[in-house]
Structure 1
Amino acid sequence: MRYLLTNIFPVRGLLVLLVSIALLVSCTKDKQVTMVQQVVAIESGEECHLCGMIIANYPGPKGQLFSKGIVGNLKFCSTRDMFAFIVDPENRHNVQKAFVHDMAVTPWDHPDEETYVDARKAWYVIGHSKQGSMGATLASFAREQDAWNFADAEGGEVLDYDQINLQALVSMTRRH
């Protein structure tokens, strides 16, 4: 019995300690990734990841996302360009987080950097009358009712994140 108390229990305690440390390190890494994956201000002169245009020079909602295997965030001059990147089969499953401007609380001509929302939870209006960086773009909103209000005023169709696919993006260019 004495052998068990002195030789086995310390090993068990050591194993518990090692597992606890491993879990703590794992949680810390996840928290660091989450902390790093947040939008940052778009600086003058920064280029769109997809088309290379200067992002700040154009009106309408912008997008930012994080993708597996790419360090830092990818910035886009329009929500249309961001979704063109996302719907590409090579990219779709690598997108970790995506953000868009909430156009209900920021001016169309110069979206405020403090108004980004989670793109997966946002609502979008396609086929509306407002122009983005290269013409037609998706107007993005944090709340569904704001998207419907915009569609009533500017025209267009309301979609959620999962409804945006290549066909929806192509239909935007045909309307303009």
Structure 2
Amino acid sequence: MNLSFVVRTGLIMAFVVALAACSGSEETAQAKPEPVHFESGDECHVCGMVITRFPGPKGESISGKEQQVRKFCSTKDMFSWVLQPENVNRDHVLYVHDMAGTEWDKPDDAALIDAREAFYVVGSERTGAMGPTLASFAEESAAEAFASEFGGEVVAFADVTMEHLSSGGGMSSGMGGSHSM
């Protein structure tokens, strides 16, 4: 009887632990925040420029439990922030515009996608805020078509480096200059 009690107690404990582990992962999956729309007065977290005054894809970060939103006037500025050593391992959700689903000159926030799943064209002739930027796409084939038309190299999120940001890329200098990193 004593052994039976120990076995039942052990099984109950194992069931409770398994149940808690399952509910924790469901909670995490449901905790992903929705993208936040860009408003006319929003300023870039990196450079302070008014975001909606410029063409090209924008980016945003929503951080951890506090759900702090940081908005960026370009994907280049978003990456320059994300790739900083103090931000690389932070718990944040990132969004960018899918440029296959919106106009370059005025990106529509209905086209915001998960930045970590996107493909980027680095070094194209298309410019965004302050010059060269990284064109973002949900589908690799759309990024390749863009690169065929406007030049550049297609890279996945995980492959974007600080060198991609500082290379300047692109044939057009746009407004000139770049943000310091």
In proportion to residue count, which structure has more helix? 1
Q: Which residue of 2 aligns with 1:129?
A: 125
Unpaired runs of at least 5, structure 1: none
Match of 1:85 among 81, 90, 99: 81
Residue 126 of structure 1 contacts residue 158 of structure 1 at CA under 8 Å; is this kept in 2? yes
**Displaced runs of 4 or more, over 6 A:** 7-14
Confirm whether residue 62 of structure 1 aligns to residue 33 of structure 2. Answer: no
Is 1:158 the counterpart of 2:180 in the alignment?
Answer: no
Q: State the Cα distance separating 1:43 from its structure 2 match.
A: 1.4
- Aligned-partner SS, 1:26: helix
Matched with 1:94 is 90
What's the counterpart of residue 169 of structure 1? 165
State how far apart, in whole Å, the 2-side matches of 1:21 and 1:159 are: 40
Q: Establish whether residue 40 from structure 1 lines up as the match of residue 36 from structure 2.
A: yes
Shift of 1:73: 2.5
| Structure 2: 5+ residue stretches without partners | 174-181
| TM-score, length-scaled by structure 2 | 0.79
Q: Distance in 2 between matches of 1:110 and 1:83?
A: 20
The answer to whether the 8 A contact 1:39-1:73 is kept is: no
**Contact map agreement 1:59 1:131 (CA 8 A) in 2:** yes
What does residue 74 of structure 1 align with? 70
Q: How far apart are the structure 1 equivalents of 2:11 and 2:23?
A: 18
Which among 119, 140, 143 is matched to residue 144 of structure 1? 140
* Matched positions, count: 172
CA distance in 2, matches of 1:126, 1:165: 10
What amino acid sits opposite 2:166 in the alignment?
V
User: Shift in Å at residue 96 of structure 1?
Assistant: 3.1
Q: Which amino acid aligns with 2:45?
A: H
